[in-house]
A and B are shown apart, each in its own frame.
Chain A
Amino acid sequence: MLGQQLANGLILGATYALFALGFTLMFGVIRVINLVYGFYFTAGAFIALYLTRNLGWPMAVAFPAAAIASGVMAIGIDGLLLTRLRRVGAPELASLMVTLGAVLALYATATALLGPDIKRFPASVIGAEAMEFAAIRITQAQVLILLATIVLVGGLLALMHGTRLGLALRAMAENPDAAGLMGIDTIRLAALVSFISGALAGAGGVLIGLNFNAIQPYMGEAMMLRGFVVIIVGGLGDIRGALIAGLLLGIVEVLTAGYIASGLKEAVAFAILVAVLWSRPAGLFGRAVTRRA
């Protein structure tokens, strides 16, 4: 049973990490707590649902298409909401309030248009049969989540630390004004971060929708609380930290439910958040003063 529980925790943790990647990137580079992020997650799942169910596209095509569409949507919405605030140098609290209002309006609109019912991908898009290795059962969707998490974390780290673009992003995270003076087009770069972050959210929405079979307008809202825990514990803007914090949170939740009591899993998870912030205010892997991406 322990093996299966650890696998359950690993998969749950990977979904948390997957959800948090774009969220932490956005915060790390643009210094904005963008709550609309949860809506891009919902949007990705619904776009892929429409493409597979109504247009009959195979998942292999619908998945990247949904991610790209969510990214494009993010460029538009973030541009509209945040560009002005950035230009006037509004404090972080202003972006928090603006995006909170916007995301609630978007969820309510989506609910009015799409209905509150839970929907799921057609059974034919992915095999539901679980594979069994050494008494541990795992489904195709879960394998896909683990792989996607590894690939996306690796890809993001390579982008940030191995390319000129990454250097520019890190420079912008460090000091946007100085980066602008060095010839970096911060407006375009901010749009690019919106795109990457929105596409990551959309990709997460598709994969998590596939795994849990619960696509509904507020699905992003449900993940947001865990997303916060992951990026805060992992250190704001820290991609590697988000991965480790996501996995830890998932494993702790599952082990608490499996071996202590299922009613206590949230209590334990959030108690850990408080304990981490209390002992390390910048997060487990964060360094207090340096800004990092």
Chain B
Amino acid sequence: MNRRHLLTTALAGATVTALPAFAQPAAIQVGAVEILTGPAAAYGIAIKAGLELALDAINLKGILGGQKIALTVEDSAGDKNQAINAARKLIGRDKAVVIIGPTLSNEMFAVGPVTNERKIPTVGTSTTAAGITEIGPYIFRTSLPESDVVPVTFKKAQARGMKTVALMYANDDAFSKSGYDVMKASADKLGVKIVATETFGSKDTDFSAQLTKIKALKPDAIAISALVEPVSGVVLQARQLGIGPEVQLIGGNGSNSPKLGDIAGKAADGMIVGSPWFIAKPDEVNQKFVAAFKAKYNKDPDQFAAQAYDCMFIVAAAIERAGAADSEKITAALAKTSFSGVMGPFAFTSGRDPASADGVVVLEMNGGKFGIAK
């Protein structure tokens, strides 16, 4: 352990070899391309931590009759070209049989065609954009797209009696608009009547006109798709204008941030948001993961670490079932994954996307903090 930390520090985030290659000559080579430096480094560092925590457990027993997995994490710095070079290096130099990552969807759109052509199975743990797995038959992902998360939140609201909903979204931002599209589709599918659709700008601070109009229509719920800052502003003004707890507030992916409580405080109480994972999920697997993560890294895991943790187990199990460190066989084995981890039960669809949204947790704001919605 000490030796590994020394190595990590010495290489200062450029190229990080999890296990020295000479220590295990027969190790199975797995590569990962993640953002370890730059503004989005928090995601890649969390993912790397999750992968390595899982790897510790896997290598304790070993796979394929005692062989260990050697994980090499290359830094993409969030740059598409650097991500492609990293993937080429992992395939050519390290002879990686599987690649995990890259971190961002737009990096996957660059790296995926390269690894797919080399027939190396590539598994994204945090790529949520539409069309990722359509790159080719070797591209998988374990992260739920937003289109799978929002319907679960809407079902929860419907179970609480939502028959009508007003939708609000920021119309100058692609992320917010695509979240709105999913909300609209969910409402239509569940037979919930949309009584109003109101827009605003991501940088707006005044939402009183839209909210006054919505208040007069008396909807059962208001669903908002935007980044957390404008959502907080909408929620604060809704309370000022007298929209009370009788109206269910629903947030999209952008609202799944502790900042909602920091900015809006108690005004956000009662708002529900779907999340692929939550730290306080009570099941044993998750609680064990959280405790082990805290013990190893001395901080709380986030969603990205949790997704990566599961992914490492999914990949290791596929190599085990493949019976050899052979990319073609591993690809076939991955497709038959049946796993249950910290994110809940997991399998791939025939399109190599996550098959079920059963692991989605609906969170509810209470006293400025998220908890699991009852």
Residues of A at the B interface (CB closer than 8 Å) are 1, 4-5, 8-9, 11-12, 15, 117-118, 120, 123, 128, 130, 132, 137, 139, 208, 212-214, 218-219, 222, 253-258, 261-263, 265-266
Contact = CB atoms under 8 A, between A and B. Distances in A.
A139 B240 contact: yes
A164 B171 CA distance: 51
Nearest to A4: B212
B209 A8 contact: yes
B208 A214 contact: no
B206 A1 contact: no
Contact of B241 (A9, A12, A130, A258): A130
Interface in B169-224: 171, 198-201, 203, 205-206, 208-210, 212-213, 215-216
Contacts of A265: 209
Contacts of B239: 128
B236 interface: yes
Given A256-B209, A257-B209, A262-B209, 12 more contacts: A5-B209, A8-B209, A12-B208, A118-B229, A130-B242, A137-B240, A208-B205, A213-B236, A214-B205, A219-B205, A222-B203, A262-B200
Contacts of A262: 198-200, 209-210
A120 B263 contact: yes
Given A212-B233, A262-B209, A117 B242 contact: no
Q: For chain A, what secondary structure do more than half of its interface residues adopt (helix, strand, loop), or is it mixed?
A: helix
B266 to A, nearest CB: 8
29 contacts: A1-B212, A1-B213, A5-B209, A8-B206, A8-B209, A9-B209, A118-B259, A128-B239, A128-B267, A130-B240, A132-B242, A137-B240, A137-B241, A139-B240, A212-B206, A213-B233, A213-B236, A213-B263, A214-B205, A222-B205, A254-B208, A257-B198, A257-B210, A258-B213, A261-B199, A262-B198, A262-B199, A263-B171, A265-B209
Contacts of B210: 257-258, 262
Contacts of A208: 205
Of B209, B241, B242, B259, most A-chain CB atoms within 10 Å: B209
B254 interface: no
Interface string B230-258: 00110010011110000000000000000
Contact of B216 (A1, A15, A212, A266): A1
A258 B212 contact: yes
6 A-B pairs with the lowest CB-CB distances in the bound complex, closest first: A257-B209, A212-B205, A8-B208, A254-B209, A1-B216, A258-B209
Contacts of B216: 1
Of B205, B232, B263, most A-chain CB atoms within 10 Å: B205
Contacts of A5: 209, 212-213
B62 interface: no
B199 A12 contact: no
B136 interface: no
Contact of A214 (B212, B233, B265, B267): B233
A130 B259 CA distance: 24
B144 to A, nearest CB: 27
Contacts of A4: 212, 241
Contacts of B209: 5, 8-9, 253-258, 262, 265
A204 to B, nearest CB: 13
Contacts of B199: 261-263
A137 B239 CA distance: 11
A254 B212 CA distance: 10
B242 A12 contact: no
B241 A117 contact: no
Nearest to B201: A266
Contact of B265 (A8, A117, A123, A219): A123
A53 B23 CA distance: 55
Contacts of A213: 232-233, 236, 263
A120 B200 CA distance: 21
A215 to B, nearest CB: 10
Nearest to A219: B205
A137 B238 CA distance: 11
B202 to A, nearest CB: 10
Contacts of A218: 203
A81 to B, nearest CB: 26
A261 B210 CA distance: 9
Interface string B273-315: 0000000000000000000000000000000000000000000
Contacts of B212: 1, 4-5, 8, 258
Nearest to A1: B216
Contacts of A12: 206, 208
